[in-house]
Amino acid sequence: MEAEKVDEIIDRHPAKQEVLIQLLLDMQNEFNWIPKQAILRINERLQIPLSQIYRVASFYKAMSLTPRGKHIVNVCLGTACHVRGGPRIMDKVEESLKIKAGKTTQDMKFTLERVNCLGCCALGPVIVVDKDYYGNVTTAKVKEILESYD
Ligand code: FES
């Protein structure tokens, strides 16, 4: 099934090296990460060297070479959020999800990441789930926020 989807995405683009970034972004959007199978298939069908595909896929933050959860939780630990209790929020999120930053829950629901500033320091501490920003987060609010995602 995944192989068919990979081929379908490749078929949407002209078979040229120039489409590599868009192709990888489409793979990322479809699978939430870029499976090795997709990389091998791009290599085979478009004759793009594996080293080049891996270089591009590991350069862009929007792309991941490891499986990611359905929801991405970013906890800000930049200076402003740090002094406003960011580390306590991170501890609480880690405890609630039972994973450490950089990891994905076993049910593939959440990936937890730390960031160094989200550009809204006055709202600190801040967490972002997917594209939803939450400011002035308290440890008491963490569970409620996470439970609002299915
Ligand atoms: S330090 Fe957290 S938003 Fe800037």
Q: Where are the domains of the chain?
A: 2-59, 71-147
Q: What is the whole-number distance in angstroms between the Cα of residue 23 and the centre of ligand 1?
A: 32
Q: Do 92 and 144 touch, CB atoms closer than 8 A?
A: no
CA distances from 116 to 26, 39, 59, 72, 82 (A): 27, 30, 18, 15, 9
* Candidate from 74, 90, 121 with most ligand 1 atoms within 8 A of CB, to mutate: 121
Residue found under tokens 């959440």: 110
Residue 17 pLDDT: 85
* Model confidence, pTM: 0.77
Over residues 83-141, the pLDDT tens digits come to 999 999 999 999 999 999 999 999 999 999 999 999 999 999 999 999 999 999 999 99
To the nearest whole number, what is the mean pLDDT of the chain?
A: 94
Give the architecture-level CATH label for domain 71-147: 3-Layer(aba) Sandwich (3.40)
Q: Pick the atom of ligand 1 nearest to 80's CA.
A: 1
Bridge partners of 112, per DSSP, are: 73
Q: Pick the atom of ligand 1 nearest to 116's CA.
A: 1
Q: What is the whole-number distance in angstroms between the Cα of residue 95 and the centre of ligand 1?
A: 22
Residue 40 pLDDT: 96
